[in-house]
Structure 1
């Protein structure tokens, strides 16, 4: 049987959800907004559940989470755009610096968005007297929601598809040529979304790891990094970058390897509740 005939059909979903005159609402943009809002609600729940914290004393208030919402949105969008330009499209940016403003042409990097969010968290936590690691833990626990929705939007947009494959669930993408390909966006959606979210939720609600600053943040970094590295074996590398060092290494792998290392170290050195409490009090006093 022709492999193209055996491939799964690509769903006919318009990337534009609603269009009113010149105004168009894309699924991709909606995924960002929904991910941030749902993550915000979950973060409020964590901040408001006293039993999850050492001595039943949350490291931040729900009002702090409310105020950080805008900071996180700016960090994600600005960092994601800058990260894409610097990591994946620097040549085009150097040739035309105004390209960074052309957000309607796409181009966002998770690793850049992560860096932007970390910067936002550091500044916000210092202004509010919050332990940075605890804020990172809460935000990290909420992040898989946005990752899941974002990867689904990548699939709808027929972008970031996988390598050619003859697996029964391979898909012929409208922008990926005639060959059936791995739906790598869905692989990432599942691994970085519900699976990672569930693992972090068990660590928080079953094992009380939110009371150990940096543990949940480290678990998120390690979990995302490992998931991304795995999926990179099925995902088509960016055409203008290809494989690095003439081998099988991709830019996604290169950027994710440090995440795994940092995440494992963070978990290994997460301070026990008593020590963490003293550190938090010292940080607040400063």
Structure 2
């Protein structure tokens, strides 16, 4: 694994495989490691939150199962349905071949929401109460996944002459925006912002506000960052905005609507 400065640009020459397991002859990849890291960090932070609020850790263990399964299944089905449905409908077994790559973050987001819904329905907990706490840790998972994309030299950016441009040598010799890194850094900043706002009574007491802010800010940045990325599939080249941007809009609208409703409720109490 090497990464060096070439002229004004960063020469990114990273092997996506860490090592190969001899018995099964299957590689262990950086992408999978960062996915696992994101899950572990989220669990640790939620454990702290649940402890502080006096909630049973058993709830967290159950919630984690719903969230992890929802994320993986949703992300896979999102890729299948949003980006290449004809191929997967013609090759159904490939739907389950996650190891070949193909996870969509928007599908993962839908899977998380469904996981929260099923968990809260079973435990008879308020959906927005749980969603607020999940919102506090999601940015860290997002940052880990985007770093994983960077290690894979995937979701690469458009051409640029900016001094921090990356040359993804496994792709070509063109300096490009490190769009994955932009999202990772934004997710880290969003993590600290949400935790700061969570200390403010006006946010913490307004159930759903933290969740709404996550949806608005995260997917608004995703919408903008897509302008700096190459389209993932050829069919997107004929679209006014690409699939990533199109799928971001509903999340932004849901977050905005929730924030407006919360604001009206607060004003009615005054």
Q: TM-score scaled by structure 1?
A: 0.84
Asked if 1 retains the 8 angstrom alpha-carbon contact of 2:35 and 2:148, the reply is no
Aligned-pair distance for 1:207? 4.0
Question: Aligned residue for 2:10?
Answer: 8
SS at 1:108 equivalent: coil
1:160 is displaced (CA, Å) by: 0.4
Which of 167, 176, 190 is equivalent to 2:171? Answer: 176
Q: Which residue of 2 aligns with 1:62?
A: 57
CA distance in 2, matches of 1:152, 1:253: 20
Cα deviation code 1:187-241 (max 9, x no counterpart): 11111x2111112111111345233221111111001111101111111111423
Choose which of 162, 167, 177 in structure 1 pairs with 2:162: 167
The runs of at least 4 consecutive aligned structure 1 residues that moved more than 6 Å come to none
Instruction: Note if contact 1:217-1:263 (Cα within 8 Å) is conserved in structure 2.
Output: yes
Structure 2 residue aligned with 1:228: 222
Taking only aligned residues, the RMSD between alpha carbons, in angstroms, comes to 2.0
Give the distance between the partners of 2:124 and 2:100, measured in 1 at CA. Answer: 39
Q: Does 1:47 align with 2:50?
A: yes
Partner residue in 2 for 1:89: 84
CA distance in structure 1 between the partners assigned to 2:136 and 2:221 by the alignment? 16
Shift of 1:23: 4.1
Q: Which has the higher strand share?
A: 2
* Partner SS state of residue 162, structure 1: coil
- 1:71 and 1:187 map into 2 onto residues whose CA distance is 29
Q: Which runs of 5+ in 2 are unaligned?
A: 1-5
Partner SS for 2:174: coil
State the distance in 1 between where 2:211 and 2:177 align: 30
Which residue is equivalent to 1:19?
Answer: 20
Contact conserved, 1:244 with 1:251, CA < 8 A, in 2?
A: no
SS in 2 for 1:80: helix
- Structure 1 pair 177–23 and aligned structure 2 pair: CA distance change class (3 A): closer
CA–CA distance in structure 1, aligned partners of residues 108 and 95 of structure 2 = 14
In the TM superposition, what are the counterparts of 1:104-253 in structure 2 within 5 Å?
A: 104-191=99-186, 193-207=187-201, 209-245=203-239, 247=240, 249-253=241-245
Distance 2:35 2:7 in 1: 34
The CA deviation at 1:132 is: 0.8
1:74 shift after superposition: 0.6
Residue 259 of structure 2: aligned partner:
267
Cα distance in 2, alignment partners of residues 110 and 161 from structure 1 = 15
Check the 8 A contact 1:32/1:149 in 2, yes or no: yes
- Structure 1 residue 94, shift from structure 2 partner: 2.0
TM-score by length of 2: 0.89
1:29 maps to 2:23 = no
Instruction: Give yes or no for contact 2:215–2:254 (8 Å, CA) kept in 1.
Output: yes
Alpha-carbon distance in structure 1 between the residues aligned to 2:89 and 2:70: 23
Task: Give SS of 1:213's match.
Answer: coil
Contact conserved, 2:83 with 2:233, CA < 8 A, in 1?
A: no
Distance across 2 between alignment mates of 1:244 and 1:8: 31
Question: Mind listing any 5+ residue stretches in structure 1 that lack a counterpart?
Answer: 51-57, 276-286
